[in-house]
Structure 1
């Protein structure tokens, strides 16, 4: 009878220690959800406007210089991913920063940008997103969950939005360069 009691106590202790381990794992998962995700969003650099009928122009000389300027402005940022819409001007703006970080530019659909798949892919990462005068503020607003920023002026290629998401709360900054 004493042996049975000892066996019962040992099994009970062993099982209770397993329960404790499960709760520790649960706590770890919760802390993973509090990772910081940082998004840097810019509009493409200046485009070639010599042919108004061209809906997919390349960057002009000023735009090429601005793409290099973004490389300098964001030199201390280590990006985990670089996203661009599928246009020459956005890909060319993103390319210097993608190259600096040894990344391929990922094409995204500006009409379906901040969805659950995107959130999961970018959670806990530092991400550059290159868009347009209307899609970049809309993307920021989607992350924030509010309409904080209007479309950019068509001549504004100098806006940098920084959005930080932590514990499900997003904050933003807008800086002009």
Structure 2
């Protein structure tokens, strides 16, 4: 049996393994309003996301109904040929990710009020916060361990 197949079998039996998950807040927005578009800086950050994760092996991307998450994910999704899945509830994102094989890798583009909940719901630490002006935070959750990074111009 191949090592990943063996790992997948044990993960299923034990219920402890989740896919690798990269979580970000949407990129910088222009102005206010209920559904603002990305600013020029946000568009540049979205292009940087494409560059950073082009070879990361992502096989799924989760976004919300808000155009800022869609625009953040769009360059990477187009580059990978992956159609983003729109899910607005943090609980539903957690459920969708837990249903994926442990060998998969997902990107979640969320918001300041959803990314921390998704991290905690997938076995990461509680208490993660994202400030109102922090658009460069990047979280990698792998087997319950959270790595916090920054990205973008």
What TM bracket, shorter-length normalisation? Answer: 0.7 to 0.9
Mark the CA change 1:115 to 1:78 in structure 2 (over 3 Å): closer, same or farther: closer
CA contact (8 A) 1:113 1:139 kept: no
TM-score, normalised with respect to structure 2: 0.82
- Long gaps (5+) in structure 1: 1-26
Match of 2:3 in 1: none
Which string of whole-angstrom CA distances, capped at 9 and with x for unpartnered residues, describes residues 60-104 of structure 1? 111100000111222321211011011100000011111111111
State the aligned residue count: 143
TM-score, normalised with respect to structure 1: 0.72
Mark the CA change 1:43 to 1:63 in structure 2 (over 3 Å): closer, same or farther: same
Task: Decide which structure has the larger Cα Rg and report it.
Answer: 1
Superposition pairs for residues 11-160 of structure 1, below 5 Å?
A: 30-31=9-10, 33=12, 37-49=19-31, 52=32, 54-121=33-100, 123-144=102-123, 146-150=125-129, 152-160=130-138
Mark the CA change 1:77 to 1:134 in structure 2 (over 3 Å): closer, same or farther: same
Aligned Cα root-mean-square deviation (Å): 2.3
Match of 1:171 in 2: 145
User: Higher helix fraction: Structure 1 or Structure 2?
Assistant: 1
